[in-house]
Amino acid sequence: MTEPLLSAERLTRVYRLGEEAVVGVQEATFSVEAGEFAVLAGPSGSGKTTLLNLLGLLDTPDSGRLLFEGRDASSLDETSRARLRREKLGFVFQAHQLIPVLSAEENVAFALWLRELPEQQCRSRARQALRDVGLEGLESRRPGALSGGQRQRVAVARALVGEPALILADEPTASLDSATSERLLDLFVELHRSRRVAFLFSSHDPRIIGRARRRIDLIDGRIVSDVTVSPAGTIPTAAPPSGSGREGTPS
């Protein structure tokens, strides 16, 4: 049995606002295996973002442990955390996450610039990643000239281009309309299949939640259920599946 990619043990994060203490996440225990496709489900304020920040090594827990590939993440210094984030993880956020003065291709290449790879290699891998997310032909557009859905795809390409083990996506569809959201999920499913990259994303939208193989429910910072909905290897797909990555027009 290989060890899990990530394993959280009684992770707790409490925000302090003066006298008041607000629970972000309480005693969260679960693990993410390589190649999983899981959703963090829960209403607004249930602790999805807090938990994803902890798992993504962006935030540190007040108590509990986080093991990353078997190593205790709390023993890592800031530099090692940054390196882990750029080499092992991919991030997709809600919105406004691209550099507006860089083209789609450069935004994706940026993730490789951080690893100081040669420009040629950064560029060709970025172009490939953009093809993989269905944005071929839009490489030289800047974010301002792309639609919301296209921008999220560029972000996915950026998360993907470094070949991470796990992509963390905090409400990636929150700023998209439902049709565009469905197509972004189609892309996730497709990439998950073809690249064997694990996905952990959060959502409060039942239709998006329904697409995941495993569903972890959060309420008031606590994990209230953790079920694998569909059998291993099968992931529910939206009907009809969309083959096109071109959704919407630039707003």
Ligand X SMILES: Nc1ncnc2c1ncn2[C@@H]1O[C@H](COP(=O)(O)OP(=O)(O)O)[C@@H](O)[C@H]1O
Nearest by Cα to 185 from 149, 143, 231, 137: 149
**Distance in angstroms (rounded) separating the CA atoms of residues 242 and 142:** 25
- For residues 68 and 7, what is the distance between their CA atoms, to the nearest angstrom? 7
Q: Is 45 in the site for ligand X (CB under 6 A)?
A: yes
Q: If binding is defined by CB under 8 A, does position 86 make contact with other proteins? A: yes
Whose tokens are 């951080």? That residue is 114
By the rule CB under 6 A, 21 interacts with ligand X: no
CA distance 125 to 133: 13
The closest of 87, 108, 251, 248 to 183, measured between CA atoms, is 248
Instruction: Let me know: does 157 contact 130? Beta carbons within 8 Å.
Output: yes
Compare residues 50 and 180 and give the one whose CB is closer to ligand X: 50
Please tell me whether residue 19 binds ligand X under the rule CB under 6 A.
no
DSSP sequence for 47-109 = SHHHHHHHHTTSS--SEEEEEETTEEGGG--HHHHHHHHHHHEEEE-SS--S-TTS-HHHHHH
Of these partners, ligand X, Mg ion, other proteins, none, which one is at the site of residue 116 (CB under 5 to 8 Å by kind)?
A: other proteins
| Single residue of 6, 48, 84, 209 touching ligand X by CB under 6 A | 48
Q: Give the residue, chosen from 48, 85, 127, 151, that forms a contact with other proteins under the rule CB under 8 A.
A: 85
114 binds, among other proteins, Mg ion, ligand X, none (CB under 5 to 8 A by kind): other proteins
How far is CA 8 from its chain centroid? 17
Contacts of 123 (CB under 8 A, 6+ apart): 105, 109
- What does the alpha-carbon distance between residue 107 and residue 146 come to, in Å, rounded to a whole number? 13
Question: Residue 45 or 210: which CB sits closer to ligand X?
Answer: 45
For Mg ion, which is the closer residue by CB, 49 or 152?
49
- Residue 102 lies near other proteins (rule: CB under 8 A): yes
Considering only residues 109 to 148 of the shown chain, the ones binding other proteins according to CB under 8 A are 110-111, 113-114, 116, 118-119
Find the binding residues for other proteins in span 162-221 (CB under 8 A): none
- The yes or no reply on residue 49 touching ligand X (CB under 6 A) is yes
Judged by the rule CB under 6 A, the positions of this chain that interact with ligand X are: 15, 17, 22, 24, 42, 44-50
Judged by the rule CB under 8 A, the positions of this chain that interact with other proteins are: 49, 53, 56, 58-59, 78-79, 82-87, 89, 91, 93, 96-97, 99-102, 110-111, 113-114, 116, 118-119, 158-159
